[in-house]
Amino acid sequence: MAYTVMIDAGHGGKDPGAVYQERREKDDTLKLAMAVGQILQENGIRVEYTRTTDVYETPYEKAMEANNAGVDFFVSIHRNSYPQANAVSGVEVLVYDKSGLKNEMAEEIADQLETVGYVNLGVKERPNLVVLRRTKMPAILVEAGFINSDTDNKLFDQNFDATARAIADGILDVLQEDTGESEEKVYRVQTGAFRNPDNANRMLNELLEEGYSAAIYERDGLFLVQAGNESSLADAAALERRLKRDGYATVLVTK
């Protein structure tokens, strides 16, 4: 089963994003989003876009678009900015929290971009960002260099294809589409982590009563409540969406 990834080109229309010497973030993000999407499609991934032209949607509208489409992953592409030009350079990838497959994908993308020549500023938590908080699937936001860094702009322009390939490869490395490597993985959806086993048992019973296959796993003094035992990432992502609709806070994990 092919996975579906929604690629979001940050900003657009009346919102130019960050601007530096007549360079507009919304233009760079659209160009990069389309290039990343093309590479993913060439590798068997279904791709949808929040925009393919210079139009504006609010972050909330973008998150709802992804939720309504039922995609498996959401990748938002931006360029960073700093109050002082040429003071900071590098790439970073933002996640709601550092857990599950979204964090694994974020780490892969940051590492791949480092091989292009960007400074790797790492993966950072940004739970306040709407496109990370309101999406119901694993979501990441890629800051592809600082738009007011001449160093990063040179890398972006002269190594554009390599930059797009690095982001796409980071996604593909996690999806492992058609490589056969994913057959040995088991995916589960975690709905809670408790120090008190009674609390874990209460959540487990709720899940079982609602018809979910679930169990408790003990690790590092915590009782982890996890649903499913899926060999397919797509099936696990669908399970996570169902659990979120039922009101559970979820994290997609691998065994």
> In the prediction, which pLDDT does 241 show?
87
> In the prediction, which pLDDT does 160 show?
97
Contact 147, 80 (CB under 8 A): yes
Q: Read out DSSP for 53-87?
A: SS----HHHHHHHHHHHT-SEEEEEEEE--SSTTS
pTM, whole model, 2 decimals?
0.77
> In the prediction, which pLDDT does 2 show?
76
| Residues facing 94 on adjacent strands | 124, 141
- Tell me the pLDDT of the chain (255 aa) as tens digits: 478 999 999 999 999 999 999 999 999 999 999 999 999 999 889 999 999 999 999 999 999 999 999 999 999 999 999 999 999 999 999 999 998 889 999 999 999 999 999 999 999 999 999 999 999 999 999 999 999 999 999 999 999 999 999 999 999 988 864 344 444 678 899 999 999 999 999 999 999 999 999 999 998 889 999 999 888 887 888 898 889 889 998 988 887
* CA 43 centroid distance within chain: 18
**Gap between the Cα atoms of 219 and 182, Å rounded:** 23
Question: Which value, in Å, is the radius of gyration of the alpha carbons in the chain?
Answer: 19
User: Please, what are the domains in the chain?
Assistant: 4-175 (3.40.630.40), 182-254 (3.30.70.1070)
> In the prediction, which pLDDT does 84 show?
97
> In the prediction, which pLDDT does 100 show?
86
